Amino acid sequence: MFPMLTLLSMFYYICLRRRCRSGSRSEALGSRRAVELAQRSSGPVGGIGGSGSGGELEQYAKEVLDFSSHYGSENSMSYTMWNLAGAPNVYPSSGDFTQTAVFRTYGHWWEQCPSARAPYRRTPRSFHSTDFLELAFEEPVYPTAVEVLETYHPGAVVQILACSLNPFTQNPPTDVRWEVLWSGEPSKAPTPHSRQFSPTIRHLSFPTNLLRVEVNSGLLEYYTELDAIILRGVRERPMLALYKMPLIDMNDLSDGEDDAVAIGNQRFPPAGDDKHNNTGNGYFDKLPYELIQLIVSHLTLPDLCRLAQSCKLLQQHCCDPLQYQQLSLQPYWAALTDASLAHLQPRCALLQRLNASWTGNRGAVTSNGFCSFLKVCGAGLVSLELSCCHFLCEASMEVIAQTCPGLQELNLASCDRLQPQAFSHVSKLTSLRRLVLYRTKVEQTALLSILTFCTELQHLNLGSCVRIQDYDVVASMLAVRCRRLRSLDLWRCGSLTERGLGELALGCGRLEELDLGWCSTLQSSSGCFQHLARCLPRLRKLFLTANRSVCDQDLDQMAACCPKLQHVDILGTRMVSPSSLKKLLQSCPELKLVDVSFCSQIDTRVVQELTSLFPNVAIKKSFTQ
């Protein structure tokens, strides 16, 4: 098999070389000399904040426009992305501060939970982003530098992009471009202390006042905290940006004269267009069909499109619907349009899993375009990821309910512009097993209808759903209708009381994951946490974050009744002693993560001693400098 792989790879790159843009070495050298001359002739840039036409401006973000998640509440400023607007609040201090911006997760812990979704095939290795935020600045400039002020556990930033759209304009252009200023791999700084991250950025051919910062906190040992983002730039286009070297680009296979549609810098030729198809197949037509299918199954979506332009045989393989049973469009969010979806339709007849998260914002994808695609390709869908898709509306949700009767997983996280009445259509998806409504406007009536009809639910995320008035009613309905529930996220669900939690524990005995972080209305003195531990012996994750009433008796009951615990968060309690914590660690051999930050009886010395006794457990204790 390996000789076949090598042979196909050689043929593939020969085709690429024949179709790449031509550019002579003399032209490239000439352009390089022009750039060098421009560098010598250009003087130093004006001072920061200079008023001259050539002066460099320093700007803090004026407004936070969009983001994928945050640790804080929708009704306050603590630990929210909105803290990134304006000048720094904390920098150069280090530590855990409420005035900073903090994302919802960190490390690899969340990927190990029962609620984690299966990864998608064909995700490019270069795509690392798991969260993002978008910021608007006052004045468009040609960027010369972008500085991110990180105040705790730096290293999460993996990509910085700039947009050609001025978000404050009254007449937005039809052609909106995103360009990468800098990209890198996930990393971890040597220390958790603050730093000013200022990577070397690329030159832009357009001015910008809209930046997007993408992060991946997977390697970090705790939550990363950002304090401010600075955009430096000049009003007039620099000389360096005027020169473009005509380098050979192996990613561009277009002939410049067709009607192909781009996705992720790759062009899709129209179906049946023979001018892209060479007739000579070499020996590839002698290989078994299944073998070639297996080989091309390892290619990313842009690579499939490139290979499809090499010859008729490989076009047949690359357009086979079997190659598109799983389709992740999230890595190509900046390039995806209605036309892209239309050209994908003939290939997606067997589509089962679709990840369109982050796509289509600012008009690139419309509700009509998405609905048209779904009506053709959605009949077999079992998983649909639509996190942060702001083109969604009630009509979109109605089409999802009508065309995807077998849908088992639906993610609407941070679709905070989707109106409350749209969620009533979710109740028609009676086969749902996993539903994510984090940071949405779902209201109690629609949610109760969903729970009434979607009785097969196993994973439900209601974190930061602030429009639900009475979580006790929701908990009672879950206990009656959703007895197969395995994971439940009630992060910052403020109205849940001991009564609702007690009914939930009795009715949903299969729960393995329960997040009650920042549910301040729950009081340990009622015995609710001890009752919870007795009723849920399968628990693997239990977050009681910021509940100051958690005490030794609660941990003792967890140690006695929940031996499978892996992740525990008791941040902020004043009532837990070192001896109870040690007992929990001894009784739960599968423990991997315990957060005791701001637990007044658990100091740094205790953490160090317990860490030496239990080296396989990550015991977290944040600090404030």
pLDDT score at 404: 97
Tell me how long the chain is.
625
- Do 348 and 375 meet the contact criterion of CB atoms below 8 Å apart? no
Residue 270 pLDDT: 52
pLDDT mean by block of 10 residues, the chain; 625 residues: 48 47 36 38 38 76 98 95 97 96 96 93 94 98 98 98 95 88 96 97 96 97 98 88 43 40 54 48 79 92 90 91 96 95 95 97 94 97 98 98 97 97 98 98 98 98 97 98 98 95 98 97 97 98 97 98 98 97 98 97 97 98 86
State the Rg of the chain over Cα.
Answer: 27
pLDDT value for 312:
87
Phi/psi at 276 (5° precision): -95, 0
Q: How far is residue 264's CA from residue 253's CA, in Å, rounded to a whole number?
A: 13
Backbone angles phi and psi of 406, in degrees to 5: -95, 15
Task: Please tell me the distance from the alpha carbon of residue 214 to that of residue 404, in angstroms, as a whole number.
Answer: 31
Asked if residues 168 and 62 have their Cβ atoms less than 8 Å apart, the reply is no
- How far is the C-alpha of 86 from the C-alpha of 83, rounded, in Å? 8
Question: Count of alpha carbons within 13 Å of 130, Cβ hemisphere only?
Answer: 17
DSSP tag of 95 = B
Q: 105 in helix, strand or coil?
A: coil
Which pTM value belongs to this model?
Answer: 0.88
User: Helix, strand or coil for residue 368?
Assistant: helix
How many H-runs (helices) and E-runs (strands) does the chain carry? Answer: 15, 24
3-state secondary structure (DSSP) of residue 150: strand
Question: How much is the pLDDT for 494?
Answer: 86
Q: Residue type for 332, please? A: Y
Token digits for 78? 């603590």
